[in-house]
Amino acid sequence: MDTAADLLFLNEEVALRINPFSEGEYLVIQTHPQEKNLKVSKRSFDYEEAKKYCELENLGHDYATFELRIIRDNKLWTVNNLGYPRTISQQQDWKVSLEYLEAIHDNDNHGEIIVCFCSYPYFHGVTAQTSSNCVTCLVDDHGREIHSCPNCQVASLQFKIKNSKFKIKDN
């Protein structure tokens, strides 16, 4: 099935993500700046190769940061100095539900997807009563009202609303 979202796959960076990640696969990901989608710049099963690539990426970019992760149980994990999983990564391959991606392009629907500094995306919507709320927007967990980040638990959502580029419409 072709959807508007499929056009995203024409983007080379996104194309890196088409094939599902495999158990034990190393990923070099961009951890700063954050984007809505996981930015993978390298996939490899060779720890030394991936580590080297990550070091070179960090040397080659002044304003972006890259880190090494490994896939275990379909999740991203940080890597110890032997190349084994250490702790669960704050950055994950979050899948935003299509209805929220469509909602941000709908002019009648005042909302946007905000990315927490930990990488977690959530939906900030504004209702006709000019009250605003934040809800989860992932494929497997959406529509849940949240007041703190479910991923890093930081209660910074209100702060982000105030600084949001989105203007609350006054009627």
Sign of CA dihedral 24, 27, 32, 36: negative
Q: How far is the CB of 47 from Zn ion (least distance, A)?
A: 28
Please list the alpha-helical segments (H only) found in the chain: 12-15, 47-60, 98-103, 157-162
From CA 123, how far away is CA 136, in angstroms rounded?
A: 6
Q: How far is the CB of 58 from Zn ion (least distance, A)?
A: 23
Q: Which is nearer to Zn ion, 26 or 91 (CB)?
A: 91
Q: How far is the CB of 48 from Zn ion (least distance, A)?
A: 31
Q: Which is nearer to Zn ion, 71 or 114 (CB)?
A: 114
**Tokens 């997807």, residue?**
113
Sign of CA dihedral 91, 96, 102, 106: negative
Q: How far is the CB of 81 from Zn ion (least distance, A)?
A: 26
Residues that bind Zn ion (CB under 5 A): 116, 118, 120, 149, 151-152
Q: Which is nearer to Zn ion, 52 or 95 (CB)?
A: 95
Q: Which is nearer to Zn ion, 37 or 151 (CB)?
A: 151
- Token duo for residue 139: 């494929």
